[in-house]
Structure 1
Amino acid sequence: MATVALKSPAGKWIMVSSIMASAMAFIDGTALNVVLPSLQQSLHATGTDLFWILNAYLLMLASLIMIGGSLGDKLGRKKIFMAGIFIFLMGSAACGFAPGVTLLIVFRMLQGIGGALMIPGSLSLISSSINENERGKAIGTWSAFTTVVTLGGPILGGAFGDAGLWRYIFFINVPIGIVALLILWQKVAESRDEDRDQKLDLPGAVAIALGLASLTFGFLRVPAVGLNNWQVYITLSAGIILLGVFIFIEGRSKHPMMPLNLFTNLTFTGVNLLTFFLYAGLGAGMLFLSLNMVQAQGYTQLQSGLTFLPFTVLMISMARFSGALADKYGPRFLLIGGPATAGIGLLILSFVKQTNGAGDYWTTFFPGILVFGTGMSFTVAPLTAAVMGSVSDHFSGTASGVNNALTRIANVFANAVLGSLAVLFFTGALQNQIHDIPLNTKEKQVIMAQAANLGDAKVPAGFNAEKQKAIKKLYQSGFITVYARVMQISAALALLGALMSFLFVRNSTIKKGSER
């Protein structure tokens, strides 16, 4: 299949359309976390409602993203990419107009379906269309821009949230999506694997979709019903069995959607393990960092978003450079040192205690964000390039789908499993400290009932001013304890990702254009 130069008109249009489409999904994901307080007040949503609004999208995305990558390889990457953009665009507009929580959750699922077709399509189109010797730089450019808009999402979300305009987080996707569709329609050529069998692996598609959906749903139910519950047992067990069935089908299928021989390349296996552990740590760390700033440290939503500007600057200045380094020297060293540095940054952030608000940012949160951002800046582009470079071009969509599926599953793991642990940590912290306040048994029960709300725990009515002040301080200190533990777990996950790179990633196995 003919490829084009990165700086050619065709190459530039491919990059612009891919970055714009990806930006929709990434802005949506990060900005939504910041506007949740405004959304909750506007729709009168409960804590459980908010949890499902966040994760309904991930449920569909994790379930279908591998199917999206495989469809692009077989039916046409541009065609499937455009279909995904259109569905995501329609889902976004519907979310913006949603009158209540239930319909918002349904429309978030529609966004997830579109994202499953759209997200792997962007990288697959780049990897299959750009000249071999420039793919690392192209992917680095894509990584830099998409990471910038991802981290710009909290700033945008903070501004909209403080103004009560949370619906515009969804509406902003509409013009971006329309422009991306027009560019793809007029300026980008179709790309498909002409040598590959065009038949679809329907049994495999059903097994992987149901398996990932069951696992995802099981993880999402843990914070609501606890780990020791029949719903969790059944869904997680069903998910594991269905994934086993999927592997069995793929091993025997004449038209597999995920050829198992991809995993004979230990580098492909290693970078996907790195992805899972690193992005689980990243998801939990960023979520609890934002919650801590707003709910415990007194930052506004906009101030919280602005604290990620140093991270954004680092990504702009270093991600493209790191992609070029990976092209020249191979990604192994970067994929060991980058995640390890990011883990150290998360560990530094875990030591931040109660501060005096945004005025203390530069001496409290900034050093950890600087180290964390440096580590991620040297990781994102080489990681993406290693994923795409460890398989042949024939399987670029499949490889992207696998890697993106693991990213979303890692986010579900962070939100569900670590979220459930956070409630346990918060309950324990309150139990340890509540004895310092003179309260009767019933008053203690009322106070402990707020534990499920974490940093958003409200002082119950009926207490005098002195006790209200003490209870508020109890909630703040308890949540900061939770924040520290979650950040330490996140750091450990990032360091575990670095270990995966050390054990499995080899520069010699990352070659373009050869079968794996």
Structure 2
Amino acid sequence: MSFPLAHWFAERHGLTTRGGQAKHPALVLTTCILASSLSFIDGSVLNVALPAIGQSFEAQTAEVQWVMNAFTLPLSALLLLGGAAGDLYGRRRVMLLGIFLFLVASLFCAVAPSLPVFLAARALQGVGAAMLLPNSLATLSASFSGEKRGRAVGTWAAAGAIAGAVAPLIGGWLVDGLGWRFIFLLNLPFAVAAIALGWLYVPESQNEQRPAPDWLGATLATLGLGALTFGLTAWSSTDQVGTGAGATMAAGALILVLFFWAEARRGTRAMVPMHLFGSKQFVGLTVFTFALYGALSGLMLLLPYTLIEALDYPATMAGLAVLPFPIIVALGSPLMGRLAARIGPRWPLTVGPIIVAGGYALGIRIEAGGDYLTTVLPSILAVSLGMAIAVAPLTTAVLSAVDEHHVGTASGINSAVSRAGGLIVTALLGAAISQQGLGLVAALHEAALIGAGLALLSALIAFATLGSMRVRPSP
């Protein structure tokens, strides 16, 4: 779960409807938690199911990477568009449509007879998640006001953290027992319950003054990220830059240049307003997020994969192995959020990634036959501690790096960037995933050192760009 998302709409103005009070507040909160949990669970549970899915479809390395990226690509490219569409056409309406798409896609994932059908269904899940995630939180913000809004958003975030903690463990248990397809069937009752509650008890809200959704920007972002990811995946899985991979990467880069050009021309009506990047602090935080969350996504994918494929862990034990991460981050983030409000975000965002880098470096001690408590756990604990120090201060820093009229857009961009970082890093992991046995362990060591480098880069960026930045008090 990306914590900046939890403030996307909670800190915006002019969102309240019905006086900011819902007639059935508990049911509205339940609906929003159920909706967002679909995406949070699915985004993490497949890390432990990836080997089983690859074996089931006899997938090649590049195809295994697309099991994750087929979902992440539309989510990262369309996240901002989903929020804008909800503002214009009705947040409840767009959220329910997103849940329905996610439900249908989950059913197709569960019964997919072939890998192409499965990947298409994963992409549809990503589209649904891009619609339901921002609008579940926007609906929550529109249905509460004052301190009740803060408590509701806090409950929503805590529920997401709990879902992220138990998802890999449940996913591993299903993989070892009933089979990986039941992971997707698990989504169905939650989605049906969210649709029923949303239809009956959630009030509609919108912001008619918001500009029309930036369809051109969304299209260019999706095509550019898709082509770049496809090229990087082809390159990493073969360890060669062929004509096709090189041309696709070049096309993706060119389309992304066109995306930024189009966004600049659209001005304040753009999906990504370019004037925000006039702030050195916002630019620094954007690069910081891309590097730190990209490295984290790589670890959360490659570590369980290695534990299962090279170290013979059952999927359930691989899910249990990463359980300390969401628990420590969830417990430590509130404390660090309060500390950042007092001392500013510069030092937490410098120290936290340094500890994360140390955790990645400890990953080189993971060996075949090694004991979990002395090899795997120290790395997980250090990464968890460092991220617990950094996550909440990153949220507050993003909200303080722009003027108060753009905090929603800025935190939405930051959430999309964190997912885009994971998308690119996953595309680059082909050479590692294609290894077996001791070769896979060696690839994990190399990836851990690269992750340590990215974390140190994040620390340097925070130290150099945040200066004496202070946190803006919440309204």
Say yes or no: does 1:374 pair with 2:388. Answer: no
Change (3 A) 1:144 1:220: farther
Letter in 1 for 2:134: P
Residue equivalent to 1:301: 315
Tell me the CA shift for residue 162 of structure 1. Answer: 0.9
Give the Cα separation in 2 of the matches to 1:22 and 1:263.
Answer: 29
Residue equivalent to 2:430: 419
Change (3 A) 1:9 1:345: farther
Residue equivalent to 1:428: none
Find the residue that maps to 1:38 and give its secondary structure: helix
Structure 1 window deviating more from structure 2 (272-281 vs 252-261): it is 252-261
Name which of 153, 157, 177 aligns with 1:163.
177
Give the Cα separation in 1 of the matches to 2:198 and 2:294.
Answer: 33
TM-score for the superposition, normalised by structure 2: 0.85
Check the 8 A contact 2:62/2:234 in 1, yes or no: no
Say yes or no: does 1:495 pair with 2:436. Answer: no
Unaligned runs of 5+ in 1: 424-452, 456-474
Residue equivalent to 1:443: none
Unaligned runs of 5+ in 2: 1-13
Tell me the CA shift for residue 277 of structure 1. Answer: 0.6
Change (3 A) 1:175 1:329: farther
Say yes or no: does 1:234 pair with 2:247. Answer: yes
Name which of 265, 276, 279 aligns with 1:252.
265
Letter in 2 for 1:247: F
Tell me the CA shift for residue 225 of structure 1. Answer: 4.7
Change (3 A) 1:15 1:314: farther
Residue equivalent to 2:214: 201
Residue equivalent to 1:49: 63
**Paired residues, what number?**
459
Give the Cα separation in 2 of the matches to 1:43 and 1:479.
Answer: 21
Check the 8 A contact 2:361/2:448 in 1, yes or no: yes
Residue equivalent to 2:234: 221
Structure 1 window deviating more from structure 2 (279-288 vs 233-242): it is 233-242
Give the Cα separation in 2 of the matches to 1:136 and 1:264.
Answer: 30
Letter in 2 for 1:309: L
Letter in 2 for 1:366: L
Say yes or no: does 1:454 pair with 2:435. Answer: yes
Change (3 A) 1:381 1:509: closer
Letter in 2 for 1:480: V
Check the 8 A contact 1:140/1:320 in 2, yes or no: no
Find the residue that maps to 1:343 and give its secondary structure: helix
Tell me the CA shift for residue 311 of structure 1. Answer: 2.3
Question: Higher Cα Rg: structure 1 or 2?
Answer: 1
Name which of 6, 23, 35 aligns with 2:49.
35
Say yes or no: does 1:403 pair with 2:403. Answer: no
Find the residue that maps to 1:297 and give its secondary structure: coil
Change (3 A) 1:41 1:243: closer
Check the 8 A contact 1:86/1:177 in 2, yes or no: yes
Residue equivalent to 2:115: 101
Residue equivalent to 2:195: 181
* Residues 336-375 of structure 1: pairs in structure 2 closer than 5 A: 336-356=350-370, 360-375=371-386
Letter in 1 for 2:435: L
Structure 1 window deviating more from structure 2 (206-215 vs 489-498): it is 206-215
Say yes or no: does 1:61 pair with 2:61. Answer: no
Tell me the CA shift for residue 20 of structure 1. Answer: 2.7
TM-score for the superposition, normalised by structure 1: 0.79
Residue equivalent to 1:80: 94
Give the Cα separation in 2 of the matches to 1:9 and 1:324.
Answer: 32
Give the Cα separation in 2 of the matches to 1:188 and 1:500.
Answer: 42
Change (3 A) 1:164 1:158: same
Check the 8 A contact 2:20/2:142 in 1, yes or no: no
Check the 8 A contact 1:63/1:211 in 2, yes or no: no
Change (3 A) 1:286 1:201: closer
Change (3 A) 1:266 1:418: same
Letter in 1 for 2:454: L
RMSD of aligned residue pairs (Cα, Å): 3.2
Q: Equivalent pairs: percent with the same residue?
A: 35
Name which of 437, 442, 449 aligns with 1:481.
442
Change (3 A) 1:253 1:302: same
Letter in 1 for 2:96: M
Give the Cα separation in 1 of the matches to 2:453 and 2:151.
Answer: 30
Name which of 328, 331, 336 aligns with 1:317.
331
